[in-house]
Amino acid sequence: MNDISIYLSPVEKKTTNFDVGQIGESIIEYNDNFPILESKSVALIFIPEYRGNKEKNLDSIRDYFSDSFYQLYRGDGWGFKIYNIGFIKPGKELNDSYFAIAKVSSELIKNNILPIIIGGSQDLTLAMYDAYQSLEQTINTCSIDYSLDIGDIEEEPKSNGYLTHLLIKRPCYLFNHANIGLQAPHVSKKDLELFNKLYFDSCTLGDFNSDFKKAEPHLRNSDLVSFDLQSIKKIETNFSNGNINGFFADQACQITYYAGISDKLTSIGFFNYPIDEPQLNGSKVLSELIWYLIKGYNDRKNDFPKGTKKNYTKFEVKLKQINESIIFYKSDKSARWWMEVPFPPKQGNKYERHHLVPCDYDDYKKAMNNEIPNLWWKTYQKLQ
């Protein structure tokens, strides 16, 4: 593993005595010496980079969060390591911070370690996206956000306008983007039309509230998740920059659990954590979000249907209106569903990992009623 400690600063060693089983008792910190990182583990990384929100940066955002997180107890069967590998200090220029995040994240991903980025403005998602360039594969991203964050291409990247800059990056290795938690008052008609024109996916706050399981296939399909903490109700976090409407804390924990249990997920960031104010409630919420993320990581089924399909029940549904059959697979391990979307042979293996699309039982029922599932249709359009 290449040395990433050059981009990181150590954290202050905790003097608190923790009970056996508490996270603070077993977490491995970067204090005096950088730890040797093992694969199949998770690593917390902090970065107080807020220039995307036109705010000043701080030297630290760790204290309130770690005080809360370290007091939580490890879940059953958590045999893997949890690391706190310190801070990425903001660079002289914003691009310097992006570069450091991308380098650290890329190295962790390549070594099967899940990077959990905490803090900063949401434009840092661009840096996380850049981490995948060296992997040379198309990926899917997902934002937990009350808005679409489509900005002006002529402006510098910012927290509420980073997605446009992600879309124009070359080479392009984005296959799909999904939004969970969109609130209609916070999106313009123009931005929504562009989002739909790109065949991106969404699960609005209303969709989620009517059935929270609607979010799961989008998270199961994502390599990178960007969580805007402003999408949680202000009354839950007491964040001064929070919104009146949004997710309840327990709903947000359900989302991070779904993200963690996804076999595809290889990086996640929690952004727009406000500065210049004690965040006791918010830190507790964030601590539990990450606890449930790690629980999901521990509960992974490793049942993405690649290779042999002997552990799956296969269903073939003939749709008359398109004269096409849709193949569904249901996992015998987790009872989760996927559907197969054909792609042109000329594409070779470029999109092979994207033609099996996570779905749910409702998509199967729609196909049985001769309706084309929305996720199937959007994926089919992107594969052509």
- How far apart, in whole angstroms, are the C-alpha atoms of residue 261 and residue 258? 5
pLDDT at 55 over 70: no
Rounded to whole angstroms, how far apart are CA atoms 139 and 135?
A: 10
Q: What are the pLDDT digits (tens) for 152-198? A: 887 888 888 999 999 998 888 899 999 999 999 999 999 999 999 99
Region 233-254 average pLDDT: 91
So what's the pLDDT on residue 276? 53
Under a CB-based contact definition with an 8 Å cutoff, are residues 358 and 222 in contact?
Answer: no
For the chain, the first-to-last Cα distance in angstroms comes to: 38
pTM: 0.94
Residue 353 has pLDDT above 80, yes or no: no
pLDDT tens-digit profile of 317-340?
998 877 889 999 999 989 999 999
Mean pLDDT within 55-78: 79
Q: Which residue has the higher pLDDT, 240 or 162?
A: 162
What is the mean pLDDT of the segment spanning 221-228? 97
Tell me which residue of 262, 259, 304, 299 sits closest to 79, measured CA to CA.
299
Exposure on the CB side of residue 373, measured as CA atoms within 13 A = 29
Q: Which of 144, 190, 107 is nearest to 289 (CA)?
A: 144
Region label for 136, one of left (φ > 0), alpha (ψ between -120 and 50) or beta (otherwise): left
pLDDT at 152: 83
* Token code pair at residue 355: 């033609």
| Residue 75 banded pLDDT, cuts 50, 70, 90 | very high
Domain 5-298 has CATH 3.40.800.10: yes
pLDDT above 70 as % of the chain: 93
What's the pLDDT score for residue 343? 74
DSSP tag of 169: -
All structural domains of the chain with their residue ranges: 5-298, 312-383
State the pLDDT at residue 48: 87
> ∠92-98-104 over CA atoms, to 5°?
110
Q: Contact 83/44 with Cβ under 8 angstroms?
A: yes
Interval 254-272 mean pLDDT: 97
Write the pLDDT tens digit of every residue in 264-308.
999 999 999 876 555 678 889 999 999 999 999 999 998 888 767
Phi, psi of 174 (to 5 degrees): -95, 125
pLDDT at 377 over 60: yes
Handedness of CA 296, 300, 103, 168 (dihedral sign): negative
> Could you report the per-residue pLDDT of 84-136, keeping only the tens digit for each?
999 998 889 999 999 999 999 999 999 999 999 998 899 999 999 999 987 87
Question: What DSSP element (H or E) covers 236?
Answer: helix 234-237
What per-residue confidence (pLDDT) applies to 280?
73
Alpha helices in 8-146 (DSSP H): 23-26, 62-69, 94-110, 125-130
pLDDT the model gives residue 140: 96
Going from the C-alpha of 317 to that of each of 214, 335, 363, the distances in angstroms are: 21, 18, 11
pLDDT (average), residues 335-359:
77
- Pairing relationship of beta strands 174-180 and 139-144 according to DSSP bridges: parallel
State the pLDDT at residue 307. 67
Torsion (CA) 151, 107, 89, 293 in degrees, nearest 10: 70
pLDDT of residue 138: 87
What's the pLDDT band for 382 if we cut at 50, 70, 90? confident
If you count DSSP H runs as helices and E runs as strands, how many of each does the chain have, helices first? 13, 13
Query: Which residues sit opposite 84 in a β-bridge?
Result: 29, 44
In the DSSP assignment, the letter for residue 370 is T
Rg (the chain; Cα; Å):
21
